C-alpha cells in the first residue's frame, strides 16, 4: 500500500518539479491527485479531506509560490503533513517495559490490515530491538489469517 501511494505521490511531485512557477491551479491539481492516490490506498475519507485541507492551506501561501523549486516545496509540505497525521514528533513509542511476555492485542474490522501490521511490528521488534516475538492468530474462520 505504501509503495503504491509513494509511487503515485512521486509522479505528482515530478510533474510539479518540471514547472517554473507554481500557481494555485497547480496546487489544486496536485491536491486532487494526492486525494485520489490516498483514496486508492484505502485511507479513510475524513482523514483524506482533513489532510488535503491542511496541505492546501500550507501550500497556497508565499512559501510555495516564491520558492525556487515548487515541486520540492510541495513535497516537503506533504511530507510534513504525513508525519503530523501519523503522530508527528510527539508520537509515543511502544512501551514494552513489563514482565515478559507482554501481550499486544490487535482489534479491527475484517480486511483493515491487522495481520499485516502485526507481522510488520513483530519483524521490527525482532530485527531492530532484538526482542523475542510470538504471533498467534485467533481468527479461526479464515485460513489465510492463520500465521
Domains of the chain (ranges, CATH numbers): 2-86 (1.20.120.140), 93-146 (no CATH)
Task: Describe the crossing of helices 70-85 and 24-40 by its angle, rounded to 10 degrees.
Answer: 40
User: Taking a C-beta distance cutoff of 8 angstroms, is the pair 34, 9 a contact?
Assistant: yes
- pLDDT, residue 122, reads 93
Phi, psi of 98, deg, nearest 5? -155, 170
For the segment 26-65, what is each residue's pLDDT rounded down to a tens digit?
A: 778 878 888 888 888 778 888 889 988 888 887 766 454 4
Q: How far apart are CA 116 and CA 132, in angstroms?
A: 18
pTM recorded for the entire structure: 0.57
Confidence of residue 70 (pLDDT cuts 50, 70, 90): low
Nearest to 43, CA basis, from 104, 92, 113 = 113
Per-residue pLDDT tens over the stretch 3-34: 666 677 777 766 666 655 566 777 788 788 88
Residue with cell 498467534: 136
pLDDT of residue 133: 93
Q: pLDDT tens digits, residue range 92-122?
A: 888 888 898 899 888 888 777 888 889 999 9
Q: In whole angstroms, what is the distance from residue 128 CA to residue 65 CA?
A: 41
Task: Give the separation between CA 74 and CA 145, rounded to whole angstroms.
Answer: 39
CA 110 to chain centre: 20
Amino acid at each position: 500500500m505504501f509503495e503504491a501511494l509513494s509511487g503515485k505521490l512521486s509522479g505528482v511531485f515530478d510533474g510539479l518539479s518540471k514547472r517554473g512557477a507554481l500557481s494555485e491551479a497547480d496546487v489544486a491539481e496536485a491536491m486532487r491527485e494526492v486525494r485520489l492516490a490516498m483514496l486508492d490506498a484505502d485511507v479513510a475519507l475524513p482523514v483524506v479531506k482533513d489532510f488535503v485541507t491542511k496541505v492546501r492551506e500550507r501550500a497556497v501561501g508565499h512559501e510555495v509560490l516564491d520558492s525556487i523549486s515548487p515541486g520540492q516545496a510541495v513535497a516537503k509540505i506533504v511530507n510534513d503533513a504525513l508525519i503530523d497525521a501519523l503522530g508527528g514528533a510527539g508520537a509515543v513509542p511502544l512501551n514494552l517495559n513489563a514482565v515478559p511476555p507482554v501481550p499486544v492485542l490487535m482489534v479491527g474490522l475484517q480486511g483493515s490490515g491487522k495481520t499485516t501490521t502485526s507481522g510488520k511490528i513483530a519483524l521490527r521488534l525482532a530485527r531492530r530491538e532484538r526482542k523475542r516475538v510470538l504471533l498467534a492468530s485467533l481468527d479461526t474462520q479464515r485460513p489465510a489469517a492463520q500465521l
